Every structure is written in structure tokens, then in C-alpha cells.
Amino acid sequence: METSATIAAARSLFGDRLSLNQTIRETHAHGEANAANTLPDAVIFPETTGEISQLLALCHANRTPVTPFGAGTSLEGHVTPVAGGISLDLTRMNRILAVNDADLDGRVEAGVTRKQLNTYLRDHGLFFPVDPGADCTIGGMCATRASGTNAVRYGTIRDNVLGLRAVLADGTIVDTGGRVRKSATGYDLTRLLIGSEGTLGIITEIQLRLYGIPEAIGAAVCGFATERGAIDAVIEIMQTGIPVARIEYADPDQMAVSIAYSKLDLIAQPTLLFEFHGTARGVAEQAAMAEAITAAHGGQSFAFATETEARNKLWQARHDAYWAARAAFPGHGAFSTDTIVPISNLAEAMEQARESVTASGLRACIVGHVGDGNFHVLILYPDTADGAARAWALDREIVGQALDLGGAASGEHGVGIGKREFMMREHGASALAMMRSIKSALDPRGILNPGKMFLD
């Protein structure tokens, strides 16, 4: 691969926005995954789709690998340039291009972050609901098919993108979808690019669905005698059709560390956190219905709050779950599994995971976006090579259990490097061959984010 030829030619296009600096290359060698780092040969900071098109035409001609980079919050190694080449940093493409109040849509460049967008939207009385926790870029969320705590009501990023602009491997600029709410014409290229992890094209602009900020927001927390009781309550709440905006689970281990870290006046027991959106009356009614259902399943202390301060404290504690666990185990590494199962198998999946944790001799906390059946085991391991290896082995075991229970190897973190080995088991040989044949058709030289998604 003639990367040096690409770099030489790209320098005249990008000037000092092409960097060979060691420190800059090092910050583009990894996301937040535990995977090994690999340095790119150069980091390029494009400012327009047209520039990316020119660069990719060069890379295509020279067979130079290109790995896109956003906020660097990937947990599965997506942004690590395992084959070297160019790290394409999209963070300078951070313009909010349009907000249409009447249509409840907007258009952003790929480097706009979630928090930047929501800050901007506040004056419009609008918000963008997909919330993976980290302040990731919207482009990165599209590439990894992100979701998060609001997905149970508002859907994942997949459901909230109307169209994309992307640059294909040979530099072709493509516009997919459009501004309409739905369309019945042509292949769904938008959904094909969402979750393709930079292996089919570089997403540069996104047309998003937006939502009015709800008139009222309420939160509630409820402890349970048993984990099964908590999950059964979730199942009944979903069946009843209560339009809960968030419904999160924390197990007693997570609650113990969060109570200490966030100074919560709660008990370390299986716990559900709720958020309700609607009118003031609607929120109160939703909460009352949820309370009645929790009580029937061993819920012991349904506490409802509409005051902003009380709500924020609770949800901040949820967002800090990771840091609470880290603080409780100083000197330990942390590793988050990410599996999803049909909700009817969720209690079983969490029980199996906990048994595996015990057998491994490691410690762990469990949190879950339980409305979706998605849960994370936060594994704490002694910060040694052996400790990391044991955590990795435990993760592999938990993923296997989820797959055996009809689940998927990742609910929201993606495949990247870390989940490639499960693709065959989850999707089967035929679907995997179909994916590879699409990849070959669209990127015949394999320059786009090589080493991700598929085992070579």
C-alpha cells in the first residue's frame, strides 16, 4: 500500500491539516476500548465532504487504508487504524446546518456532538433523544448504530436518521434518504450505512429527526426484593404500553457502589430507574400505573420525583455508574460487556452472567437498558496482564450465553475489533457471506476501516 504517495499528494490538499506528529498520531491510535493501539501513518482533519472525496479517490488509487475518527469514545476498537494508513478526524466538521421546527428535523455535519446539538436545540424547544451516555459525535453514533437509555421510547439512531451524505471508497459522494419521514423508493442505503462502522463509506452529514421537549418530565426509582421481580415488572409495563421514556436496571452490586459514590439515600437491592415524558397529568398517570405494576412484583419503595434537582441527581448517578464502580475498586481495570437478549430471557441471562462472574473470581456490577433487553456487566479486574485476560475470557463467556439465549453479541457498542469472532455465530454463514459480498461490491480494494467487523 503506497501510503507515502497518498500522504505526499494529500499534503497539497490539506496543508497543516495533515499531521505526522507523534502525539497526534498517538491520540488517534485508540478509542476507549482495551484493544491494542496501532498508530496511523498520518492524521487528516478535513473540513468539507468535497475534501474527503478527493482524499478517498487518492487512497483508493493507492490502496491506502482510511479509518474514520470522531470523539474517540468507541468501546470496541472501531477507530484504531489496525492497518495503519490515514486516520480521518471529522471533528472539524461540526456545523449544525439546519433546524426545521415545522418538520421536526435538522441537518448536522458528522463531527457535531450529541451535547453540542442538544445545547443548540434548546432555544428551539427541541431535543435529539438518542443518548449513549458519552458525548460522542453524531457521525460516530450513526457508524456504530448507537442507542442508549432513551431507546425504549424514541428508538435507536437507526430510527432517527432520515438521510445521510457519505463518501464511498472511490471518492463518490452519495446522498441517501432525504427530508421526508418515510419513502418507499429504492434500497434503504441510509440503514445500510448506519452500523457499517466506516467499512462501506465515510458519513459526513446527517439529516435527523427531532422532538419537542416534553411539557413535563418525571423520574422514579424503585427497589425490589428480587431481580426476577424487577424484570417481570418491566415486562408487564411494556405489555401495558406505558410509554416510558427510560427504564434502567441496576443490580445490588451496582447500587452499593453508586450509593457510596453518588450519596444516594437508597438500598443496595435490585432497582429500577424510570423516566416519564408527557403532559403533567400524563406523567403522573404513567408513574401511578408503573407503581401499581412494580408493587405487584415485589417493588418496595416506588419514589416519584418531578423536581429537576431530584431527577438530575438520580440520572447523574446512573450516568456515573461506571465511575462509581471504578472508585470502589481502586487499582482495578474496568471492562464493559454489551449483550442483548429477548426480554423474556433477560433474568436468566443476568443470572448466568453473575454465575460466570463468581466462577471467574472477578468482581462485577450489572446495569441494563432493560426495556430493550440490553445489559452491561461492568467487570472489575486486577490491573495486570492476567487480570485483563481473565476479564476478556469472562466477557467471551457472557456473550456466548446471550447468543445461546437468542440474543446478539452487541446491543449498542458495535463489532469493531472485539466482537468479530461472534459474527459467524450470531448471523450464520449465509448472512455473513451476504455482508461480505456487499462490502466487496462497494469497497473492492478494502481500504475503508480494514480489520473491523469481519475476521480476515
Q: Report the residue number, 28 or 153, with the smaller CB distance to a copy of itself.
A: 153
Task: Examine residue 336 and tell whether it contacts a copy of itself (CB under 8 A).
Answer: no
Tell me the C-alpha to C-alpha distance, in Å, between residue 179 and each of 161, 207, 412: 10, 7, 26
Among the listed residues 415, 417, 447, 448, the single contact to a copy of itself using CB under 8 A: 415
Task: Examine residue 134 and tell whether it contacts a copy of itself (CB under 8 A).
Answer: no
Within positions 351 to 380, which residues make up the interface with a copy of itself, using CB under 8 A?
372-374
CB-based burial, 93-104: b 16+ in 10 Å, e otherwise: bbebeebeeeee
Q: Measured between alpha carbons, how far is 433 from 35 in angstroms, rounded to an integer? A: 26
Look at strands 86-89 and 42-44 and give their pairing: parallel
Task: Examine residue 104 and tell whether it contacts a copy of itself (CB under 8 A).
Answer: yes
Among the listed residues 91, 311, 426, 445, the single contact to a copy of itself using CB under 8 A: 426
Among the listed residues 5, 57, 96, 189, the single contact to a copy of itself using CB under 8 A: 189
Task: Examine residue 342 and tell whether it contacts a copy of itself (CB under 8 A).
Answer: yes
Task: Examine residue 216 and tell whether it contacts a copy of itself (CB under 8 A).
Answer: no
What lies within 8 Å, CB to CB, of 16 at 6+ separation is none
Q: Report the residue number, 226 or 316, with the smaller CB distance to a copy of itself.
A: 226
Counting every residue written for the chain, the total comes to 456
Q: Report the residue number, 96 or 432, with the smaller CB distance to a copy of itself.
A: 432
36, with CB counted inside 10 A (0-12, 13-18, 19+), is exposed
Task: Examine residue 57 and tell whether it contacts a copy of itself (CB under 8 A).
Answer: no
Q: Report the residue number, 59 or 146, with the smaller CB distance to a copy of itself.
A: 146
Region binding a copy of itself by CB under 8 A among candidate stretches 21-29, 155-163, 307-315, 376-384: 155-163
Task: Examine residue 423 and tell whether it contacts a copy of itself (CB under 8 A).
Answer: yes
Contact 125, 212 (CB under 8 A): yes
Task: Examine residue 412 and tell whether it contacts a copy of itself (CB under 8 A).
Answer: yes
Q: Report the residue number, 221 or 237, with the smaller CB distance to a copy of itself.
A: 237
Q: Report the residue number, 361 or 444, with the smaller CB distance to a copy of itself.
A: 444
